[in-house]
Amino acid sequence: MTQSRLSYLQAFPLFAIMLVFLVIPTVMIVAVSFWDYNAFSIIPDFIWDNYDFLLTSPVTWQAYGTTFFYALTSWALTLVIGFTAAYYMAFHLRTTKAQTICFLLATIPFLTSNIIRMISWIPLLGRNGLVNQALLSMGLIDNPLEFLLYSDFSVILAFVHLYTLFMVVPIFNSMMRIDRKLVEAAIDAGASPLQVLTQVIIPLSKSGITIGTIFVFTLVMGDFITVRLMSGGLSASVGVLIYNEITLLQYPAAAAGAVTLLLTVLMMLAILFRFANIREDL
């Protein structure tokens, strides 16, 4: 067998799955977004009504505003926390063993259930939760704080809790590949610790930062479950709108919302991909 034919054969299963479960479903969504529907069924058609309704509804614009607010805030927080944690592991831990242990400690939560990690904030943040109990008993507040749970605060807290890992891992990965001699050279040349950080380490971690940014942005933009659970149904992101339409069986409306969301995410990715070459950064 020739090498190229073998390559095709080896790549085929991946291609087949992506075709059947990614490409065709996406085409399907685009098609259905132009269909008509009534209370009982969806009807093949070609109408602009779904988009017309979507793009002229103030609810949509509000949801996009909320979604961008969540995405930007979560991005800024995960970046600062993730960068600091990665920097600590890469430059302050001296042995590979310590680095491995800390890296594993930070990675393991990513492999457990998101929904359970969200639920686990309830006994801490609720009206009678630990935080309120502690603040009350210390006499710092007279009444329980209401904004802790089912608010924008709890939504963003949950996003940071769930997704900071997606910043830590790629940034740590690119930091580990920085030649330590460059840092030493900078110090020898009289750079202050702050200058080393801003002029050597941050520029050389750029691709990790970009990959982390891509992850956090796309995950938050497409999320519906975190927003639904942690806002107690009080705020609506774009994902929540789509999810609500799905539960109401308004598939063409949901599909139009999904296509719009996809285009928004793809536009943002097109901008972000200019900053990193994923394939060469592995």
Partner 1 sequence: MNTTGKRPKSFYFLTAFFALFILFLYGPTLTIGILSFQGPSGGLTFPMNGVSLHWYFKLFETQAVGDFGGSLTRSLLLALAVMITTMVISLSAGMAFRKKFRGSGLLFYLTVVSLIIPSILVSLGIGLLFNQAGVEPTWYGSAFGAHLTWTLPFGLLIMFAVFNRFDKSFEAAATDMCATRFQTLRFVVIPLILPSLVGVGLFGFTLSYDEFARTIMTSGSQNTLPLEIFGMTTNVTTPVLYALGTLTTLISFAAIVGTLATLSLLKRRRSRIQAG
HSE-up of 15 (CA within 13 Å, CB side)? 6
Burial class (CB in 10 A: 0-12, 13-18, 19+), 30: middle
HSE-up of 254 (CA within 13 Å, CB side)? 18
Q: Whose Cβ is closer to partner 1: residue 75's or residue 215's? A: 215
Q: Whose Cβ is closer to partner 1: residue 26's or residue 57's? A: 26
Least Å distance, CB 2 to partner 1, is 11
Rounded to 5 degrees, φ, ψ at 126 are -60, 175
Least Å distance, CB 231 to partner 1, is 13
Q: Whose Cβ is closer to partner 1: residue 4's or residue 38's? A: 4
Q: Whose Cβ is closer to partner 1: residue 102's or residue 145's? A: 102
How many C-beta atoms lie closer than 10 Å to residue 27's C-beta?
A: 10
Between CA 19 and CA 12 the distance in angstroms is: 10
DSSP helix/strand/coil, 59: helix
